[in-house]
Protein backbone atom coordinates (compact mmCIF):
# COMPACT_ATOMS: atom_id res chain seq x y z
CA UNK A 1 0.00 0.00 0.00
CA UNK A 2 0.99 3.53 -0.53
CA UNK A 3 0.07 6.67 1.35
CA UNK A 4 0.04 10.01 -0.42
CA UNK A 5 1.40 12.53 1.96
CA UNK A 6 1.06 9.69 3.35
CA UNK A 7 -1.00 7.35 1.11
CA UNK A 8 -2.57 4.18 2.53
CA UNK A 9 -3.24 1.13 0.37
CA UNK A 10 -6.24 -0.04 2.40
CA UNK A 11 -16.39 9.20 -16.31
CA UNK A 12 -16.20 5.91 -18.16
CA UNK A 13 -15.71 7.41 -21.65
CA UNK A 14 -13.76 5.25 -24.04
CA UNK A 15 -10.88 6.85 -25.91
CA UNK A 16 -9.98 5.55 -29.35
CA UNK A 17 -6.38 5.77 -30.46
CA UNK A 18 -5.42 5.51 -34.10
CA UNK A 19 -2.55 3.11 -33.45
CA UNK A 20 -3.18 -0.38 -32.17
CA UNK A 21 -1.42 -1.40 -29.01
CA UNK A 22 -0.99 -5.07 -28.15
CA UNK A 23 1.62 -6.14 -25.60
CA UNK A 24 1.55 -7.95 -22.26
CA UNK A 25 4.72 -7.65 -20.21
CA UNK A 26 3.66 -10.53 -17.96
CA UNK A 27 4.62 -12.76 -20.88
CA UNK A 28 8.08 -11.17 -20.83
CA UNK A 29 8.99 -11.80 -17.19
CA UNK A 30 6.90 -9.25 -15.27
CA UNK A 31 5.44 -11.18 -12.31
CA UNK A 32 1.89 -10.74 -11.01
CA UNK A 33 2.37 -10.38 -7.26
CA UNK A 34 0.31 -10.09 -4.10
CA UNK A 35 1.45 -8.07 -1.12
CA UNK A 36 2.73 -9.62 2.10
CA UNK A 37 1.48 -6.82 4.41
CA UNK A 38 -1.62 -4.59 4.29
CA UNK A 39 0.38 -1.43 3.50
CA UNK A 40 2.99 -2.92 1.18
CA UNK A 41 1.48 -2.31 -2.26
CA UNK A 42 4.36 0.11 -2.89
CA UNK A 43 7.00 -2.50 -2.02
CA UNK A 44 5.16 -5.04 -4.17
CA UNK A 45 5.23 -2.80 -7.26
CA UNK A 46 8.94 -2.07 -6.77
CA UNK A 47 9.55 -5.82 -6.37
CA UNK A 48 7.58 -6.65 -9.53
CA UNK A 49 9.48 -4.16 -11.63
CA UNK A 50 12.84 -5.07 -10.10
CA UNK A 51 12.27 -8.75 -10.83
CA UNK A 52 11.17 -7.93 -14.38
CA UNK A 53 14.36 -6.03 -15.16
CA UNK A 54 16.50 -8.71 -13.54
CA UNK A 55 14.90 -11.41 -15.71
CA UNK A 56 15.38 -9.39 -18.87
CA UNK A 57 18.75 -7.76 -18.24
CA UNK A 58 20.45 -10.35 -16.04
CA UNK A 59 22.43 -7.37 -14.80
CA UNK A 60 24.97 -7.65 -12.00
CA UNK A 61 23.69 -4.48 -10.37
CA UNK A 62 20.20 -5.97 -9.96
CA UNK A 63 20.27 -8.83 -7.41
CA UNK A 64 17.80 -11.63 -8.12
CA UNK A 65 14.35 -11.25 -6.61
CA UNK A 66 12.39 -14.14 -5.18
CA UNK A 67 9.62 -15.84 -7.15
CA UNK A 68 6.46 -13.77 -7.41
CA UNK A 69 8.05 -11.02 -5.27
CA UNK A 70 6.34 -12.12 -2.06
CA UNK A 71 9.47 -12.73 -0.03
CA UNK A 72 11.33 -9.80 -1.57
CA UNK A 73 9.01 -7.05 -0.41
CA UNK A 74 10.51 -7.00 3.08
CA UNK A 75 13.95 -6.38 1.57
CA UNK A 76 12.64 -3.38 -0.34
CA UNK A 77 11.13 -1.94 2.85
CA UNK A 78 14.29 -2.73 4.83
CA UNK A 79 16.50 -1.00 2.27
CA UNK A 80 14.38 2.15 2.16
CA UNK A 81 13.76 2.41 5.90
CA UNK A 82 17.20 1.22 6.95
CA UNK A 83 15.89 -1.34 9.41
CA UNK A 84 15.22 -5.07 9.45
CA UNK A 85 11.73 -5.72 8.12
CA UNK A 86 12.12 -9.43 7.31
CA UNK A 87 11.13 -10.84 10.70
CA UNK A 88 7.72 -12.50 10.60
CA UNK A 89 6.71 -11.15 14.00
CA UNK A 90 7.25 -7.48 13.16
CA UNK A 91 7.31 -6.95 9.39
CA UNK A 92 3.69 -5.76 9.11
CA UNK A 93 3.73 -3.64 12.28
CA UNK A 94 3.20 0.09 11.94
CA UNK A 95 4.73 2.69 14.24
CA UNK A 96 2.32 5.59 14.53
CA UNK A 97 3.37 8.37 12.18
CA UNK A 98 6.95 7.09 12.05
CA UNK A 99 8.70 4.78 9.64
CA UNK A 100 7.80 1.37 11.01
CA UNK A 101 8.07 -1.58 8.65
CA UNK A 102 4.31 -1.81 8.17
CA UNK A 103 3.65 1.89 7.65
CA UNK A 104 2.31 3.25 4.35
CA UNK A 105 4.65 5.12 2.02
CA UNK A 106 4.94 8.47 0.27
CA UNK A 107 5.65 9.32 -3.35
CA UNK A 108 9.12 10.52 -2.42
CA UNK A 109 9.92 7.29 -0.58
CA UNK A 110 8.67 5.18 -3.49
CA UNK A 111 10.96 7.05 -5.88
CA UNK A 112 13.82 6.45 -3.43
CA UNK A 113 12.91 2.76 -3.38
CA UNK A 114 13.12 2.49 -7.17
CA UNK A 115 16.45 4.30 -7.16
CA UNK A 116 17.87 2.05 -4.44
CA UNK A 117 16.68 -1.23 -5.96
CA UNK A 118 17.52 -0.38 -9.58
CA UNK A 119 20.38 2.13 -9.34
CA UNK A 120 21.51 1.70 -12.94
CA UNK A 121 18.18 2.99 -14.23
CA UNK A 122 17.18 6.64 -14.66
CA UNK A 123 13.78 7.15 -13.05
CA UNK A 124 11.00 9.52 -14.09
CA UNK A 125 8.46 10.73 -11.51
CA UNK A 126 5.34 12.58 -12.68
CA UNK A 127 3.07 14.20 -10.10
CA UNK A 128 0.53 16.98 -9.63
CA UNK A 129 -0.23 19.26 -6.71
CA UNK A 130 0.05 17.52 -3.34
CA UNK A 131 -3.35 16.84 -1.81
CA UNK A 132 -5.37 17.68 -4.94
CA UNK A 133 -7.05 15.28 -7.38
CA UNK A 134 -5.23 15.31 -10.70
CA UNK A 135 -6.73 16.46 -13.97
CA UNK A 136 -5.41 15.75 -17.49
CA UNK A 137 -3.67 19.16 -17.47
CA UNK A 138 -1.71 18.50 -14.27
CA UNK A 139 0.88 16.14 -15.74
CA UNK A 140 0.31 13.35 -13.19
CA UNK A 141 0.39 10.67 -15.87
CA UNK A 142 1.89 10.33 -19.36
CA UNK A 143 -0.32 11.18 -22.30
CA UNK A 144 -1.87 8.14 -23.91
CA UNK A 145 0.47 7.97 -26.94
CA UNK A 146 3.45 8.23 -24.56
CA UNK A 147 2.06 5.48 -22.32
CA UNK A 148 1.62 3.23 -25.34
CA UNK A 149 5.15 3.97 -26.53
CA UNK A 150 6.50 3.07 -23.07
CA UNK A 151 4.68 -0.24 -23.07
CA UNK A 152 5.76 -1.01 -26.64
CA UNK A 153 9.36 -0.39 -25.55
CA UNK A 154 8.86 -3.04 -22.81
CA UNK A 155 8.68 -0.47 -20.01
CA UNK A 156 6.25 -1.18 -17.13
CA UNK A 157 4.69 1.91 -15.53
CA UNK A 158 3.89 2.32 -11.83
CA UNK A 159 0.55 4.11 -11.34
CA UNK A 160 -0.25 5.59 -7.93
CA UNK A 161 -3.78 6.67 -7.08
CA UNK A 162 -5.05 8.09 -3.79
CA UNK A 163 -4.01 5.42 -1.32
CA UNK A 164 -2.81 2.67 -3.65
CA UNK A 165 -0.22 1.88 -6.32
CA UNK A 166 -0.44 -0.61 -9.18
CA UNK A 167 1.61 -1.61 -12.22
CA UNK A 168 0.51 -1.01 -15.81
CA UNK A 169 1.68 -4.14 -17.57
CA UNK A 170 0.35 -3.99 -21.11
CA UNK A 171 -2.23 -2.86 -23.62
CA UNK A 172 -4.65 -4.42 -26.05
CA UNK A 173 -7.04 -3.10 -28.68
CA UNK A 174 -10.66 -4.25 -28.48
CA UNK A 175 -13.15 -2.97 -31.09
CA UNK A 176 -10.91 0.01 -31.77
CA UNK A 177 -10.54 0.94 -28.09
CA UNK A 178 -7.21 0.54 -26.31
CA UNK A 179 -7.36 -1.04 -22.86
CA UNK A 180 -4.54 -1.33 -20.35
CA UNK A 181 -3.64 -4.24 -18.12
CA UNK A 182 -3.32 -3.32 -14.43
CA UNK A 183 -1.57 -5.52 -11.85
CA UNK A 184 -3.18 -4.92 -8.46
CA UNK A 185 -1.50 -6.59 -5.48
CA UNK A 186 -4.80 -6.51 -3.52
CA UNK A 187 -6.71 -8.48 -6.16
CA UNK A 188 -6.80 -12.12 -7.21
CA UNK A 189 -3.74 -12.48 -9.49
CA UNK A 190 -5.53 -15.07 -11.62
CA UNK A 191 -8.16 -12.50 -12.74
CA UNK A 192 -6.88 -10.04 -15.35
CA UNK A 193 -7.82 -6.36 -14.94
CA UNK A 194 -8.14 -4.20 -18.06
CA UNK A 195 -9.19 -0.49 -18.17
CA UNK A 196 -9.68 2.05 -20.91
CA UNK A 197 -7.64 5.25 -20.60
CA UNK A 198 -10.39 7.29 -18.95
CA UNK A 199 -10.98 4.69 -16.23
CA UNK A 200 -7.23 4.28 -15.83
CA UNK A 201 -6.67 8.01 -15.27
CA UNK A 202 -9.86 9.40 -13.74
CA UNK A 203 -11.52 6.37 -12.18
CA UNK A 204 -15.22 5.42 -12.45
CA UNK A 205 -17.81 8.20 -12.75
CA UNK A 206 -20.06 9.02 -9.78
CA UNK A 207 -22.71 6.39 -9.15
CA UNK A 208 -20.97 3.69 -11.17
CA UNK A 209 -18.84 0.92 -9.75
CA UNK A 210 -16.70 -0.67 -12.41
CA UNK A 211 -13.25 -1.56 -11.21
CA UNK A 212 -11.28 1.62 -10.64
CA UNK A 213 -9.16 3.27 -7.96
CA UNK A 214 -8.46 6.63 -9.62
CA UNK A 215 -7.73 9.37 -10.10
CA UNK A 216 -4.15 8.67 -11.10
CA UNK A 217 -1.85 10.94 -9.05
CA UNK A 218 1.79 9.84 -9.36
CA UNK A 219 3.74 7.97 -12.06
CA UNK A 220 7.07 6.16 -11.92
CA UNK A 221 8.98 4.55 -14.77
CA UNK A 222 12.49 4.25 -16.12
CA UNK A 223 13.38 6.09 -19.30
CA UNK A 224 15.83 3.33 -20.17
CA UNK A 225 14.10 0.64 -22.23
CA UNK A 226 15.28 -2.97 -22.41
108 or 207: which leads in pLDDT: 108
Q: Which residue has the higher pLDDT, 102 or 130?
A: 102
In a domain, 16, yes or no: no
Instruction: Kindly state the average pLDDT of the residues 23-46.
Output: 93
Yes or no: say if 41 and 165 are a contact pair by the CB < 8 Å rule.
Answer: yes
Do residues 224 and 154 touch, judged by C-beta distance below 8 A? Answer: no
Q: Is residue 13 part of a domain?
A: no
pLDDT of residue 69: 74
Band (pLDDT 50/70/90 cuts) for residue 90 is: low
11 belongs to a structural domain:
no
Tell me the C-alpha distance between 81 and 52, whole Å: 23
Q: Pairing between strand 218-222 and 193-196?
A: unpaired
Q: Is the pLDDT of residue 216 over 70?
A: yes
Q: Higher-confidence residue: 209 or 63?
A: 209
Would the CA dihedral through 141, 213, 72, 58 be positive or negative?
negative
Residue 168 domain-assigned (yes or no): yes
The reported pLDDT for the residue numbered 7 is 58
Residue 154 binned pLDDT confidence (cut-offs 50, 70, 90): very high
| Closest by CA position to 102, among listed 113, 88, 115, 112 | 88
Residues 64-77 have pLDDT tens digits of 444 457 678 988 99
Number of C-beta neighbours around residue 179 at 10 A: 20
pLDDT at 137 over 80: yes
> Which CATH number do you get for residue 75?
3.90.70.10
Structural domains counted in the chain: 1
pLDDT of residue 13: 30
Q: What is the mean pLDDT of residues 4-24?
A: 57
Which range has the top average pLDDT, 12-21, 40-49, 83-92? 40-49
Burial 24-47 (b: 16+ CB within 10 A, else e): ebbeeebbbbbbbbebbbbbbbbb
* Cα-Cα end-to-end distance for the chain: 27
Residue 161 located in a structural domain: yes
Q: Judge whether 157 lies within some domain.
A: yes
CB 59 within 8 A of CB 120: yes
pLDDT attached to residue 89: 62
62-87 as b/e: b if 16+ CB within 10 A: beebeebbbebbbbbbbbbbeeebee
Domain of residue 94, residue span: 23-222
Q: What percentage of the chain has pLDDT greater than the value 90?
A: 51
Domain assignment of residue 162, yes or no: yes
- Does the residue 8 lie in any domain? no
Close Cβ partners of 217 (under 8 Å, ≥ 6 residues apart) = 4, 127, 128, 133, 134, 140, 160, 161, 162
State the pLDDT at residue 162. 83
100 pLDDT above the threshold of 60: yes
Average pLDDT over residues 151-157: 96
Amino acid sequence: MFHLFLLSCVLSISFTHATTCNIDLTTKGLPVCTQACPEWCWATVISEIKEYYHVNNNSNDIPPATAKCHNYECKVVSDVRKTSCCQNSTECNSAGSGMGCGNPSSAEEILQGFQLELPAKKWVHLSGRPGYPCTPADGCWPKEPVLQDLLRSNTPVARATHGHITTIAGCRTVAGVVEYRVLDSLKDPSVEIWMNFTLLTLGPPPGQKPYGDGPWQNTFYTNTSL
